[in-house]
Amino acid sequence: MVHRTMIDTEQLPPAERFGMWLDLVARTAAPLRIRSAHQHDFRARAEFVELGPIQLVRYRYPSLAAVRTAKLIRRTEVDFHMLALTTDGAGVVGQDGRQSRLGAGEFTLYDGSRPHEVSGFGDEGEQQHAASVVALIPYGAMPLSPERLTPLLAGRMSATEGLGALVAQYLTRITSYPEQYRQADAERLGGVALDLISTMLGRHLVAEDDMPREVRRRALLAQVQNHIQRHLGDAGLTPGSIAEAHHISVRSLHRLFEQEQTTVASYVRELRLERCRRDLADPALAHRPVQAIATRWGFRDKAHFSRTFRAAHRLTPQEYRTVHLQQARIVNSPASEVNSVRTY
């Protein structure tokens, strides 16, 4: 599992919670000076996820206002850019004389090496908490220089369409379910995040030509793979439809996957088989017919599905299901639970 750290102020008595949050913020890569009307009972949570070159932080907090002063900046050893996604509530960010009000589903970028102000507000008269996901990106990790990124500071960028939506989905998925990813994959996951973020920022700067070709290729590949995963159940998912959805030629699509040592068809087939395996082994889906599972994941022809599955696993779909459901019953049987307790 990737390395993560969770901080929850509700672990302490109400009078100590705000102090705990101040200590937490003081130890981060970009410390801030904070004030809040909820200091008497500051219920907040932060989860830090380390992904190689970058750090992702998922925040949930009452309304607050924060400022990064020149004095705090001088105490920081590494300069960072911060890409912040508002997921609940609203926020206000100001830097270099520019100020923007942000709603849920919007990104903003600010430079940790320069003074700035950030505020967050909950919905419904501040009865609900504000929430955000922040990516801390060291200088030099992206192919765009700090000078090139200056026009984007404290601005607004959509997280609900185009590349912005893809970046938002990627960051929220990882920070919502970090336990699903292995530590060995952290570096690559961070690299994909950097490629997507760099490409999104480059688009906003109308400077995509400044992006290295390999960064653009990996970002496009991530978009294509995300599209495939979202449309696996569509029988009309073909190289032609995939290429059309991304405004590229089928030939370009095939070249994109050649560098991944696979083909488009193989990638789609393996994903579909993976989803079928998962559902066939799930006791909660034991009542569902095998063909219904196959159809759900894009295998419309029963005979074709059976041949494809058997070629991959040397078992028919029904044999695979029987074996794995039997194993699940053994693991979950009372005798197994007793033995597990005795083992420990």
Can you name the residues that pair with 95 across neighbouring β-strands? 98, 116
Per-residue confidence (pLDDT) for residue 339, from 0 to 100: 43
Tens of pLDDT, residues 234-276: 988 999 999 988 888 899 999 989 888 889 999 999 999 999 9
Per-residue confidence (pLDDT) for residue 27, from 0 to 100: 80
Per-residue confidence (pLDDT) for residue 28, from 0 to 100: 79
Angle separating helix axes 186-204 and 213-230, nearest 10 degrees: 100
Angle formed at CA 30 by CA 67 and CA 203, multiple of 5 degrees: 90
Tens of pLDDT, residues 30-62: 788 999 999 999 999 999 999 988 999 999 999
Say what the alpha-carbon torsion angle 183, 184, 185, 187 is, to the nearest 10 degrees: 90
Does 336 score more than 50 pLDDT? no
Q: How far apart are CA 50 and CA 79, in angstroms?
A: 17
Q: How confident is the model at residue 341 (pLDDT cuts 50, 70, 90)?
A: very low
Domains recognised in the chain with CATH numbers: 4-230 (2.60.120.10), 269-335 (no CATH)
Share of the chain above pLDDT 90, in %: 52
Structure tokens at 17: 């919670």
* Residues sharing a CB contact under 8 Å with residue 280, sequence separation 6 or more, in sequence order: 290, 293, 317, 320, 321, 324
Q: Are 110 and 100 in contact (CB under 8 A)?
A: no
* Residues sharing a CB contact under 8 Å with residue 90, sequence separation 6 or more, in sequence order: 101, 102, 103, 104, 120, 121, 123, 130
pTM of the model: 0.66
Share of the chain above pLDDT 70, in %: 92
Per-residue confidence (pLDDT) for residue 342, from 0 to 100: 35
| Mean pLDDT calculated for residue range 13-25 | 90
Question: Residue 15 class from Cβ within 10 Å (0-12 exposed, 13-18 middle, 19+ buried)?
Answer: exposed
